[in-house]
Amino acid sequence: MHEFGITESVVAAVRERLPDATITCVHLEIGALSGVAADSVRLYFGPATEGTNLEGARLEISEVVARCRCGTCGGEFEPDGPIPLCPCGSPDAAILSGGDLRITAVDVA
């Protein structure tokens, strides 16, 4: 359910930057390791925009694949779950991509 709060935060961020514009589309990137379920954000976007300048806007989400670098062997890998574990068995992994939620663009009428 935390996705509703996250979705409200996205709407608030767009409204703060573009308070007088009619928004037609919001583009998001959601990383595989961000802990945010894209389907839930899609579900909550409509209710979160009601009564705002984003009401009726589309939501386009790009889901970003996670990439990590192992601190033990130095190899790069795509984790196969929410906890990045290198194929060498090490849990010492730095997230290179796929850990963020970002507003990448906003379309204005």
For the chain, domain boundaries: 2-108
Query: Which CATH fold topology does 2-108 show?
Result: hypothetical protein PF0899 fold (3.30.2320)
Give the three-class secondary structure for 109: coil
Intra-chain end-to-end CA distance of the chain, in Å: 31
Q: 84-96, pLDDT tens digit by residue?
A: 999 999 999 999 9
Within 1-109, residue ranges assigned H as helices are 2-17, 38-49
pLDDT at 1: 57
pLDDT at 50: 97
pLDDT at 19: 95
pLDDT at 2: 83
d(CA 20, CA 18): 6
The answer to whether 14 touches 106, Cβ cutoff 8 Å, is yes
Q: Which residues of the chain have pLDDT under 70?
A: 1
